[in-house]
Amino acid sequence: DAGITQSPRHKVTETGTPVTLRCHQTENHRYMYWYRQDPGHGLRLIHYSYGVKDTDKGEVSDGYSVSRSKTEDFLLTLESATSSQTSVYFCAISVQGATDTQYFGPGTRLTVL
Amino acid sequence: QKEVEQDPGPLSVPEGAIVSLNCTYSNSAFQYFMWYRQYSRKGPELLMYTYSSGNKEDGRFTAQVDKSSKYISLFIRDSQPSDSATYLCAMSANSGNTPLVFGKGTRLSVIA
């Protein structure tokens, strides 16, 4: 357990509504990531952050924005949700150490109707 | 061609079998290779981590990397029903701070 929580864990929303997902970590790791996981596509990077207010786009960033005003929180916002954004969203942190790789949160299951 | 190719399965084996899971990749810059295990409705958990070529063993699990062939493998010995999960390979060119590129995952079922 890398001390990552995600909220909400499940959400159902309607097309066109804004949605914000939260990732919270307890250990002050600098790098944080948002991925989405879909059948047939695997895990794909949406956005990542390498520090407070420092973010960059990933492979599938269209329709998503992120913010990081504190080290411990990384927010993912769908400004106007679409059905194609129905997915499972995972937050990850990068931990420096023996393995120096990424650890994942429990996920948020989002359904856009 | 995707950067990382992984047979999605599903793969079904009897308890006690040796399981071989594989990924191929196209980017010769990849140096860091990982295997994650993901149980249903859970987040991926790191199983094995390897830098560059060679083998790494951890209990019943062995990870192999052949950079000349751009091929990585995960072997599971004496497979157990508790090994039933989706196995994801992942890789990157730099250290863990670099976003990972994932395979699509192979779903494994170990039948008692």
DSSP B70-106: TEEEEEESS--GGG-EEEEEEEESSSTTSPPEE---E
pLDDT, average across residues A24-28: 91
pLDDT number for residue B56: 93
Q: Given a cut of 60, is residue A1 above it in pLDDT? A: no
> How far is Cα B26 from Cα B5, in angstroms, rounded to an integer?
9
Q: What pLDDT does residue A98 have?
A: 57
Mean pLDDT value of segment A53-64? 94
Mean pLDDT of B72-99: 91
Q: What is the pLDDT of residue B54?
A: 86
Q: pLDDT band at B93, cuts 50/70/90?
A: confident
Do residue B99 and residue A48 have CB atoms under 8 angstroms apart? yes
B44 touching chain A per CB within 8 A: yes
Residue type, B66: D
Q: Is the pLDDT of residue A75 over 80?
A: yes
C-alpha dist (Å) from residue A18 to A23, A65, B32, B83: 17, 11, 37, 39
Residue B96 predicted with pLDDT over 70: no
Question: In the predicted model, what is the mean pLDDT of chain B?
Answer: 92
Residue of A nearest to B9 (CA): A40
Contact (CB<8Å) A43/B49: no
What band does A3 get if pLDDT is binned at 50, 70 and 90? confident
Q: Name B104's Cβ contacts closer than 8 Å, sequence gap at least 6.
A: A40, A41, A42, B6, B8, B88
State residue A6's pLDDT score.
97
Query: Is the CB of A94 less than 8 angstroms away from the CB of B97?
Result: yes
Whether the per-residue pLDDT at A100 is higher than 70: the answer is no
